[in-house]
Amino acid sequence: MKTALLLAIAVTSVPSTACADPWHQQLQPFFTAHCLDCHGDSDGDGELDLSALKTELSDAEATRRWTLIHDRIANGEMPPKGQLRPKPAEVKNTLNILSDALTMAHRRQNDVVFRRLNRIEYENTVRDLFGIFVVVNQTLPQDTSTSGFDNVGEGLAVSAEAAQAYLEAADIVLDAVFGPSKKPKYIQHKTNLATQSTHDGKLFNAKQIGKMFRRTDKGLVIFQSNYCPTNLVNFARERPPAGTYRGTLQVRAIQSDKPVTLRIYGGDTIVGRREKHVVGYYDVPPEWTTIQFTDRLVEDNGTFQPKCYGTRDTRKDADTYPEPGLEIGDITIEGPLEEWPPPSRAALFGDVDPEIATLDDAKQILNRITPKAFRRPVSAEEMTPYFDLVESALAADRSFEGALRLALKAILCSPEFLFLDEPATEQISQHAIASRLSYFLWSSLPDDELLALADAGSLNDAEVLQQQVERLLKDDRSKAFTENFVGQWLDLRDINFTSPDANLYPEFDELLQISMIEETRLFFNEVLHQNLSLMNFVDSDFTFLNERLAKHYNIPGIHGHTIYRKVDLPEDSVRGGVLTQASVLKVTANGTNTSPVTRGMWVLENIMGQHVSPPPSNVGSVEPDIRGATTLREQLAKHRNVESCAACHNKIDPAGFALENFDVIGGYRDRYRTLGEGERPSFGQDPNTFAWVRYRIGRPVDATGQTPDGTAFRNIRELKQILLQDQESIARGLTEKLITYALGRRVGFSDRLVIEQIVKNIAAQNYGFRTLVHEVVQSDLLQRP
């Protein structure tokens, strides 16, 4: 089994070897006549020495540079203005030679890339293969992001050390499939916070009752949004096994004519050393209400914790405290809710009784499971090693279940399972197409219908592909497309990478961050499922808000933290499109300040599809002055005095300047915040979190600028309209992102003609996003290596 996996590792590690091509020799006359005066040595402009540039196009950096040279010649940027211009025939000949070389090099590279399942795909695949829920992402090796996505084959090599991780993951999977040997203890726990113990085993005492909490004949009134010792310790003492639990709470808002928000946490809510997660937020009216939730505890001995959200805390006069709170009555927690024996066990064995089963029964089971695991038909010859494993184990007096488990473990660690099998010369197999479709839109393996269509050879039919894309998008599993594509295209996975400085941004809290992400996902889904124009990602007249995010955006009339609704934006709103959504604004800033460079590069690369070259090695980065004495704009003006910086920063900085009206958590600002000198705000506590405000009001924000062609703008609204004048670039950029994600490989030079055709096709249909998904699937890129 290890031998098979290590063989796959060796195969994926073999570098490609390109032939020595004479193409660069054919270009020498052109470069000698028009380029080498400036780019003929290491001191040339832009640190580009054409005489020393590698011509081996299997090298990624060499390919990037030659592609840049091609594009600059094609765009008329080289030779520069004022220099002797080459004849059109010379330019055409040079571009043809260079284009052919880059195209052939890219096609050769595509032939040698093996794509492994990433961690999310692995979890989803075993879930759908066996009908189980497992968490193995901490067991499997970390996935590397390439071209912005973690499902690109070039970034998914397998090291020898990873073999052990896959063996461990297979054991976790099979433990879930077969289930525990005896039925887990079922718990039906009834409690009331009024009789709840603390973590040290004592009842709430006088220091808490009457100060933090108010006892009633129904239960307990709580006011705490921050520290609140309401963990269900008594439930944890029953040592609940990992599994799904149903909770029921009797609760009502008090001292308020509006709903008060309850939040519930699950996991290790007591010690906080293990997994802890948000179960949900619930708007509770003044009338007694039953709140019911279903949640999975992924580790043994977890518990739950109810507490308030958005209330003021008290620690001294709960019995007379007049502020809003929650009265919580009886609480019932029951579970695990999973069946035993688990359905996955019955589905695996089918009509085979493991107590009297034989080798032939094992063959029947493996013949049924393996084609699904390998996502294609499996020959009798391929099955022989797995049958031999079972036979040897049975001969060694291992139980039938143990022998079957050994073969299944070998299957889960095999290259055929861990890697997407796409053998081809000109066109990949029908089953490889089925896998590309399902991993594109579900991040999981093909279902029975897709495999049946592949068996029938129907996945070359345009109408069939159209129907299957629609079916897959309507399936609940397509949530993976939204979560994984959006999470990486817009960098939402990095939302926790920085924590906003609490002194500068006391209004930031957990619910605001949850709301940020949900807005973006709902917005993306709306554009996709309604086939709206891609241009909505730049600017739109709607978004999705709950009360928490609406307050952050200063949009009135939205009530309820737990309900998100589609909202028409005012005509003069600064919001609209992903550029001004708080989630994107947070991931493009650090926890203290914003950078026009960071945000400008994000807009160019993620929205406009323009790839920004790395800065010259001899130029340092610009660090913001956190005391607010100088603005980053002033520092960047000095930075652009460096000739080698100006060309790129003239492209990068404008979008970043326009977004300076938004702080690190996406709030709109006219002036910066500072911890140095400045005016005090007009309020002492933040109205959302009630945290004390310590920051000062600093310098005014300047969001003006001009594009490289000299077009001036005053704010983000005007910049959006400028960006929308180049709809082709916006469409091309997103098309490249979508193809990269769909195919699991880098987009290269040989893809350009197909991409341009896709952009042309969707332009004729109002740039519809769902149309783009269909065009990518219908293109020959999906069907060739």
pLDDT digits (tens, 9 = 90+) for 457-467: 999 999 999 99
pLDDT digits (tens, 9 = 90+) for 72-100: 888 777 766 666 778 888 888 888 888 88
Q: How confident is the model at residue 438 (pLDDT cuts 50, 70, 90)?
A: very high
Of the candidates 579, 585, 554, the residue with the CA atom closest to the CA atom of residue 567:
554
In whole angstroms, give the CA distance from residue 665 to residue 645.
29
Decide: 599 and 570 in contact? Cβ < 8 Å: no
Say what the pLDDT of residue 637 is.
62
pLDDT digits (tens, 9 = 90+) for 132-165: 999 998 899 889 999 999 999 888 877 777 889 9
For residue 106, pLDDT beyond 90: no
Say what the pLDDT of residue 645 is.
65
Structural tokens at position 558: 């939205």
Say what the pLDDT of residue 19 is.
41
Contacts of 349 (CB under 8 A, 6+ apart): 365
Say what the pLDDT of residue 718 is.
97
Say what the pLDDT of residue 12 is.
37
In whole angstroms, give the CA distance from residue 630 to residue 632.
7
Q: Name the packing angle between helices 430-441 and 462-474 (round to 10°).
A: 30
Q: Return the bridge partners of 713, or none.
A: 705
In whole angstroms, give the CA distance from residue 132 to residue 263.
28
CATH hierarchy code of domain 187-335: 2.60.120.200
Q: What is the sign, positive or negative, of the torsion defined by CA atoms of 424, 426, 427, 432?
A: positive
In whole angstroms, give the CA distance from residue 642 to residue 553.
38
- Give rounded-to-5 percent helix, strand, coil for the chain: 45, 15, 40
Q: How confident is the model at residue 616 (pLDDT cuts 50, 70, 90)?
A: low
Higher pLDDT, 36 or 194: 194
Say what the pLDDT of residue 80 is.
67
Say what the pLDDT of residue 10 is.
35
Say what the pLDDT of residue 84 is.
72
How distant, in Å, are the alpha carbons of 254, 313, 487, 548, 777 from that of 309?
Answer: 14, 10, 27, 11, 45
How distant, in Å, are the alpha carbons of 102, 362, 365, 372 from that of 402?
Answer: 53, 11, 14, 21
pLDDT digits (tens, 9 = 90+) for 211-227: 899 999 999 999 999 99
Q: Where in the chain is the domain with CATH 2.60.120.200?
A: 187-335
C-alpha Rg value of the chain to the nearest Å: 30
Q: Which of 102-111, 147-156, 163-172, 584-593 has the lowest mean pLDDT?
A: 102-111
For residue 775, pLDDT beyond 80: yes
Say what the pLDDT of residue 300 is.
92
Q: How crowded is residue 299: how many other Cβ atoms within 10 Å of its Cβ?
A: 13
Helix (H, G, I), strand (E, B) or coil at 55: coil
Q: How confident is the model at residue 617 (pLDDT cuts 50, 70, 90)?
A: low
Say what the pLDDT of residue 104 is.
83
Task: Give whichever of 81-90, 545-554, 686-695 has the largest mean pLDDT.
Answer: 545-554
Q: How confident is the model at residue 473 (pLDDT cuts 50, 70, 90)?
A: very high
Q: Which of 167-181, 420-434, 632-646 has the lowest mean pLDDT?
A: 632-646
pLDDT digits (tens, 9 = 90+) for 622-633: 555 544 556 666
pLDDT digits (tens, 9 = 90+) for 246-263: 999 999 999 999 999 999
Say what the pLDDT of residue 412 is.
98
Q: Is 374 left (phi over 0), alpha (psi -120 to 50) or beta?
A: alpha
pLDDT digits (tens, 9 = 90+) for 379-397: 999 999 999 999 999 999 9
In whole angstroms, give the CA distance from residue 439 to residue 445.
6
Decide: 279 and 228 in contact? Cβ < 8 Å: no
Decide: 239 and 285 in contact? Cβ < 8 Å: no
Say what the pLDDT of residue 89 is.
85
Structural tokens at position 764: 């004729």
Contacts of 134 (CB under 8 A, 6+ apart): 123, 126, 127, 172, 173, 176
Segment holding 284, helix H or strand E: strand 276-284
Q: How confident is the model at residue 757 (pLDDT cuts 50, 70, 90)?
A: very high
Kindly tell me the burial class for residue 684, based on how many C-beta atoms sit within 10 Å of its own C-beta (0-12, 13-18, 19 or more).
exposed
Please give, one letter per residue, the 3-state secondary structure of 433-444: HHHHHHHHHCCC
Say what the pLDDT of residue 113 is.
60
Contacts of 527 (CB under 8 A, 6+ apart): 533, 534, 536, 537, 769
Please state the φ and ψ torsions of residue 671, each to the nearest 5 degrees. Answer: -135, 150
Decide: 106 and 114 in contact? Cβ < 8 Å: no
Decide: 721 and 539 in contact? Cβ < 8 Å: yes
Say what the pLDDT of residue 82 is.
65
- On the question of a cis peptide bond just before residue 423, with omega within 30 degrees of 0, the verdict is no
Segment holding 303, helix H or strand E: strand 303-309
In whole angstroms, give the CA distance from residue 558 to residue 550.
6
For residue 17, pLDDT beyond 50: no
For residue 607, pLDDT beyond 90: yes
Say what the pLDDT of residue 728 is.
97
Mean pLDDT value across residues 312-325: 92
Please state the φ and ψ torsions of residue 452, each to the nearest 5 degrees. Answer: -65, -40
Q: How confident is the model at residue 37 (pLDDT cuts 50, 70, 90)?
A: low
Q: Return the bridge partners of 209, or none.
A: 213
In whole angstroms, give the CA distance from residue 780 to residue 758.
11
pLDDT digits (tens, 9 = 90+) for 527-545: 999 999 999 999 999 999 9
Mean pLDDT value across residues 562-587: 96
Say what the pLDDT of residue 408 is.
98
Say what the pLDDT of residue 150 is.
95
Q: How confident is the model at residue 296 (pLDDT cuts 50, 70, 90)?
A: very high
